[in-house]
Structure 1
């Protein structure tokens, strides 16, 4: 499966590289070579108005993704109290989302705008593979968190994961994700096509057979989307039911802070899983539609030039939204952000800094209580 665009399919022919979108009905009309040479191939896939809209949306998502996930990574890395199992997994999610922002968003945008590949063979292989690894890592990490919460709440007598074990599990997740996405490095490459006097470079997938491409697409859909979403739904359903039963059986004042904190974490992770399922569904539908659907030329052109860019930016928006969900539901992260912002504000404000220093240096002054007039019989007032 192509994690940037399925514009190139199983064999390196002109009809399978997406060029048929710009030379319509080439085989049906029986155009000869001289006519093909005279057909201009546009530099851009969309009009300038549409390109500007795509660029603005992608830039906004890119900035939110980079800034938000950098903040989450720095806070968790610098705060000793956040170095637990759950926040180790959240840190891994932030790192994978950060990789999506750095290596996938800008290069995917360029690929959607220009007809020709300007990124070279290295990025043709690297960008889709890194995106696939990040997505697989994210969904596997979400499943690991769901399983950890399930064991802690539903089976509290079992030994829970330690931080060291969580780190080993994170490393294993990245290794498995790399193995799953490794075919991208072999089937994707930059190919040059000679059309008259014009040489056109195209980045795409070149599979030995259509059957292998379809089998790999179906495999990724099941392993990296359908199965994890179903497993997470089951685990959080059982965990949420257990929490609800615990609260219902206890008196109102007996609900401990630990139970409330667990409930808040469950809500946060359920929302993250739901957002992942919703934002990535359109892109998976596009991949499956192209691999298994019988699309006409006009339908394929609309899919590549307009639907794919929208589906991709929706998927990338998942990486930009996650940090804000962390901040909304994690009181530890939110309080830490407030604390850091307060320190930076004080550091940049000399007056506030001087006031704070003065408060620290000034000893407490005990005022003598004022005397009140007293009318005592037999005593004349002075």
Structure 2
């Protein structure tokens, strides 16, 4: 997360290369070739699990790029999808696209070769962009949780609008770019074997260089708290209250609530016609039931997104704290296992970017409809007609469903009026 390389500071793992280098530091070409072949065979050639990792990176790259692009396109294309929550979702997708394009290829090369090939400038830029995307993602999820908390638990305290959402998104990017500047300052290229510097760029690492030992401990502790632990705790508390409001409290639809609302309507109405009174009551209750169900679906989708984010970023957060704060891996005896954990945790970060569009597809009917329309159209005209037919059919079905609900509620109301 903070820093794209996995420099475990393991002297034992490079001792053999150092000894071999001392024996072959002669201008003889054959000896240099022999040394490079040894390095390739023992350190650079992908191992079995790394071939699996390469395939996983390729799959994640295309799924993330295509899926998040479709999310942005769906909201941009359809005016009815330009809600406050969807604005934040688009911002989350943009952060995922950023990290996928700029950081995933470099991370794959570094994890496989254990070498930074891209120079000192990109050594500062790539980790900086990566940490910005992490900050943008967690702040966006926090903004979504706050918006849903106000809308459901305290609707009269704060009125959320699209204009405020856009301002919040701009603020999120500005804050993320500012607070992650130290990450760009401390990243520098260095060679694990200085005697090979003029011969090859192998074993060049892009890592943090702090002035004193206390600085990385303070920075990474604050980084963990600000970008993971504290926002996650606040979001969990917000969604607990949202769940309690939507699922645990009485909502419109139960008989007691219906009768209580209908008595209120009957007392407050100024002598309307009987049929009109029932129709007004049932329409109001149906609208409330529909709103609660829509909010439940949205809350369920957002909670799954939050859970996947917490799960994917947990390994790298813990490993970074163990490495940077406690220095756990300085003298490790099982370097291969530790290195495998780091490479897998890096892959999980990018897998989270690919997972979000899949979650939207399964848990949001609107996004699923747009994704299907994008993939099913073989030509522009045919796809446009099919999309219009689908939307018309959906609109007709929803009207039929609503009228059916109203008729059913009319029947229930008559029975309830007779009982009351």
TM-score by length of 1: 0.80
Report how far residue 54 of structure 1 moved.
1.6
| Deviation by residue 1:262-315 (Cα, 9 ceiling, x = unmatched) | 111100111111101111111111111112143353447236631111111112
Which stretch of the first structure deviates more once superposed, 242-251 or 68-77?
Answer: 242-251
Equivalent pair of 2:64/2:353 in contact (CA under 8 Å)? yes
Q: Which residue of 1 aligns with 2:115?
A: 116
1:202–1:20 distance in 2 versus 1, CA, 3 Å: farther
Report how far residue 167 of structure 1 moved.
0.7
Which stretch of the first structure deviates more once superposed, 214-223 or 51-60?
Answer: 51-60
1:36–1:300 distance in 2 versus 1, CA, 3 Å: farther
Output aligned runs, 1:311-350, within 5 Å. Answer: 311-344=345-378, 347=381
Q: Which residue of 1 aligns with 2:15?
A: 23
Equivalent pair of 1:188/1:203 in contact (CA under 8 Å)? yes
Distance across 1 between alignment mates of 2:334 and 2:322: 10
1:81–1:32 distance in 2 versus 1, CA, 3 Å: closer
Q: Which residue of 1 aligns with 2:328?
A: 294
Distance across 2 between alignment mates of 1:46 and 1:230: 42
Q: Which of the numbers 301, 308, 313 marks the counterpart of 1:275? A: 308
Distance across 2 between alignment mates of 1:32 and 1:111: 23
1:35–1:290 distance in 2 versus 1, CA, 3 Å: farther
Equivalent pair of 2:210/2:216 in contact (CA under 8 Å)? yes
Output aligned runs, 1:158-173, within 5 Å. Answer: 158-173=157-172
Q: Which of the numbers 203, 207, 218 marks the counterpart of 1:215? A: 218
1:231–1:299 distance in 2 versus 1, CA, 3 Å: farther
1:25–1:346 distance in 2 versus 1, CA, 3 Å: closer
Equivalent pair of 2:116/2:206 in contact (CA under 8 Å)? yes
Which stretch of the first structure deviates more once superposed, 81-90 or 294-303?
Answer: 294-303
Q: Which of the numbers 288, 294, 299 marks the counterpart of 1:261? A: 294
Equivalent pair of 2:100/2:353 in contact (CA under 8 Å)? yes
Q: Which residue of 2 aligns with 1:238?
A: 241
Equivalent pair of 2:6/2:114 in contact (CA under 8 Å)? no
SS in 1 for 2:127: helix
Report how far residue 316 of structure 1 moved.
1.3
Distance across 1 between alignment mates of 2:226 and 2:157: 28
Equivalent pair of 2:44/2:112 in contact (CA under 8 Å)? yes
Which stretch of the first structure deviates more once superposed, 170-179 or 304-313?
Answer: 304-313
Distance across 2 between alignment mates of 1:299 and 1:281: 24
Q: Which residue of 1 aligns with 2:55?
A: 56
**Is structure 2 residue 198 aligned with structure 1 residue 194?**
no
Q: Which residue of 1 aligns with 2:264?
A: none
1:300–1:177 distance in 2 versus 1, CA, 3 Å: farther
Q: Which residue of 1 aligns with 2:83?
A: 84
Report how far residue 195 of structure 1 moved.
1.1
Report how far residue 53 of structure 1 moved.
1.7
TM-score by length of 2: 0.73
